[in-house]
Amino acid sequence: MENNVNLKDFNTFGIEVFAKEFEALHTAEEAISFFKERNLTEKEFLVLGGGSNLLLTDDFNGIVIHNNIKGIEILEETTEIVLLKAGAGENWHEFVLQCIEKGYAGLENLSLIPGNVGASPMQNIGAYGVEVKDLITEVEAIEIATGELKTFTNEACQFGYRSSIFKTTHKNNYFISSVTFKLSKEPDFNISYGAIKAQLDEDEISQENLSIKAISNAVIAIRKSKLPDPKEIGNSGSFFKNPVISAAIFEGLKKEHKGMPAYQLPDGGYKLAAGWLIEKTGWKGYTEGNYGVHKKQALVLVNYGGATGLEIYDLSERILLSVQQKFGVTLEREVNIL
């Protein structure tokens, strides 16, 4: 146990706030013992993994629990599939690259997403036509109140768009220790998003030469061209979710706003591009002091160094208000605010 720990290096925004107490847990067994011994209430603890989906707005007057559980284990392997169990503290992108190197397909479209494995089921990470819910078979998690290890099936996780039971009804109730993925040895390439196709063409990758490595490289190139590296500029990736609206509302909006991009969903609704909405309200590239909106991607709020979490939060409030006023659409933050 450490006291008065600076959390600047434990959140990708690089916000400097302090934790009264700090405990790093390295194994599931260690975590089980810890939670059985400590009787924690919700306001007394904060679980941190990669710190990639978090905006810290004040010092934490409790205990920060750093999830540092590592390890990758093959549970089952056939000529067609492999079941991989990964520790929640594994770096997500490094895990994806290891899978690609071994020829395990499915995660390549999720390359270069910041954070750790444990966050992947929590917020059902997704990108370029792939959501992690389609690859997760189960999640092991420790109940914080009792220290009991429980297993959640895919169905029990209640995955939704950028959401799961760990972010809704069970928020702050469980400490995720591992995630099991079912990956394929027979790739089913997903290049439906136009940006991937365009990047593959630029990389001179033909259909005959297509591979999970080529798709991963294309996704990495796209993300690097649009998103700032948290190691260089503090950020948490996409700060806002893409809003979902009804077909009737979309029909009205597209008449008033020509060229509005949207993706039709199976239920008939439409998913709008939050970045486009924010850009059209004039926020893209906005800078105030040492923070602002990224010049290449309006979805990304940035800390150029020394900004406070409250400053960035207040900026997000102003963005929400202006999008609501212009389009009548309510954006939702993807980032957790503390």
Q: Could you give the residue numbers annotated as active site? A: 162, 238, 334
CB of 337 closer than 8 Å to CB of 313: yes
Mutual angle of helices 92-101 and 212-226, in 10-degree steps: 150
Beta-strand relationship, 45-48 and 60-67: parallel
CB of 312 closer than 8 Å to CB of 17: no
Q: DSSP for 158-208?
A: T-BTTB-TTTTTTTTTEEEEEEEEEEESS------SHHHHHHHHHTT--GG
CB of 289 closer than 8 Å to CB of 307: yes
| Rounded-to-integer distance, Cα 317 and Cα 309, Å | 12
CA 304 vs CA 52, 243, 293, 294: distances in Å? 16, 27, 10, 10
Per-residue tokens: 86: 């990964």
- Residue 264's contacts (CB-CB under 8 Å, 6 or more residues apart) are 270
